[in-house]
Amino acid sequence: MKHWTLAEITEVYNTPLLELVFKAASVHRQHHNPKEVQISTLLSIKTGGCPEDCAYCPQAARYFTDVEKNDMLSAEQVETAAKRAKSLGSSRLCMGAAWRNVKDDEDFEHVIELVKTVNKLDMEVCATLGMLSEHQAKRLADAGLYAYNHNLDTSEDYYKEIISTRGYEDRLKTLDNVRKAKMTVCSGGIIGMGEAVADRLKMLLTLASLNPQPESVPINALVAVEGTPLENQQPISIWEMIRMVATTRIVMPNSVVRLSAGRTSMTIEGQALCFLAGAGSIFAGDKLLTTPNPDVFQDLEMFNLLGLTPTEPFAKHEQPSIKEEAVEVANQTEKWTRPGHQIEANVTYTKVGQEKRRKIKADESAN
Ligand code: SF4
């Protein structure tokens, strides 16, 4: 594995654009089948009401957005959604719950059942549930979880401008716990949150320095949602996305680079350049957890137009077996941090949220 420096990654990123795309496409062809792109489906199994303060997220309970809080989906609902996704070409289902961290409670036991249900459909099962202890990671692995998603989001420095309720080291600790449980790691970030290009590249450096590198690296463009502290962020240009995808491809040649949130504002031409530059997966479905996403039939038309084929499941790694007799691992509780520093925009939007909810309550009791 090559040990990258920030200077080297910056040099890659600043390569003249067409030259960069050509280099990334060449790396992509050495390590992946360029005619295949994986279709993954992201399913929110528990929406909204999250105690965290991520500035980009409409599921944070403290902000006032149009996301409605929902209870956990049942096994039947998840199975139906997974079967539909599979019939439309998805080989991976990623289940997301708006939690700070996993707790050893009945909701987690339910997630274990959901993982088994989807594994039995011969799909790659991924979950994104927040911070995870070693013991919890092992339980998920024994249930047949293929991948765990935990994004670094941005650089360690800029993370402090976006989230105050947990620290960067918690992210890295969770990724380490996923590795110890021998699951594949899915970790990437979001661009367009007001960060500098250097922050994006520092994030790539952190990811590329993990040994082994993550098997999956989602690159999201911020979808600015009304009511969140980042609601007024201007969208990034497609060229920034292409550069980011290409750079990710070059510095992590074996990883599947996932073209994730933000595709609704990309043209087919823009997405085609991202595929050429090494994006090997898209997320399908009209919603990405809670934000809009292109219709799956439009995506299938795009695949037809570009001559792409959806990747079969377990193309790179074996399907994990479900261990009914799970091996016991000492239940150690992790001490997650709570930095609690003040992020002005997050504080302002929390107050706006409180005020709007207070007014709604007052109006309701007046009627
Ligand atoms: S990104 Fe995740 S942890 Fe952050 S507020 Fe949203 S659901 Fe919660």
Structurally, the chain folds into a number of domains equal to 1
Cα–Cα distance between 67 and 141 in angstroms, integer? 31
Residue 317 lies in a domain: no
Residue 98 lies in a domain: yes
The dihedral sign for the CA sequence 344, 347, 352, 355 = negative
pLDDT tens digits for range 303-343: 999 999 999 999 889 999 999 766 566 667 788 999 989 99
For residue 165, give its domain range. Answer: 6-312+330-366
Cα–Cα distance between 345 and 342 in angstroms, integer? 9
Known active-site residue 274: no
Query: Whose alpha carbon is nearest atom 7 of ligand 1?
Result: 98
pLDDT tens digits for range 147-174: 999 999 999 999 999 999 999 999 999 9
Residue 127 lies in a domain: yes
Q: Where are the beta strands (DSSP E) in the chain?
A: 36-46, 90-97, 124-128, 147-149, 184-186, 189-191, 216-221, 256-259, 279-284, 287-288, 291-292, 309-310
Residue 1 lies in a domain: no
pLDDT tens digits for range 120-134: 999 999 999 999 999
Query: Whose alpha carbon is nearest atom 4 of ligand 1?
Result: 54
What is the average pLDDT score of the chain? 93
Ligand 1 centroid to 365 CA: how many Å?
31
Residue 14 lies in a domain: yes
pLDDT for position 1: 83
Residue 321 lies in a domain: no
Looking at the chain, the number of H-run helices and the number of E-run strands are: 12, 12
3-state secondary structure of 132: coil
Given a cut of 80, whether residue 358 has pLDDT beyond it is yes
pLDDT for position 264: 86
**pLDDT (mean) for 73-78:** 95
pLDDT for position 363: 87
Distance between alpha carbon 166 and the CA centroid of its chain, in Å? 17
pLDDT for position 36: 96
Which of 59, 152, 260 is the best mutation target for the ligand 1 pocket, counting ligand atoms within 8 Å of the beta carbon and taking the most? 59
The Cα angle at residue 183 between residues 323 and 78, in degrees rounded to 5: 70
**pLDDT (mean) for 47-64:** 94
Given a cut of 90, whether residue 302 has pLDDT beyond it is yes
DSSP character at residue 272:
H
CATH number of 39's domain: 3.20.20.70
- Specify the residue for token string 């139906």: 80
3-state secondary structure of 66: coil
**pLDDT (mean) for 33-59:** 94
pLDDT tens digits for range 197-239: 999 999 999 999 999 999 999 999 999 999 999 999 999 999 9
Given a cut of 80, whether residue 294 has pLDDT beyond it is no
| pTM (predicted TM-score) | 0.94
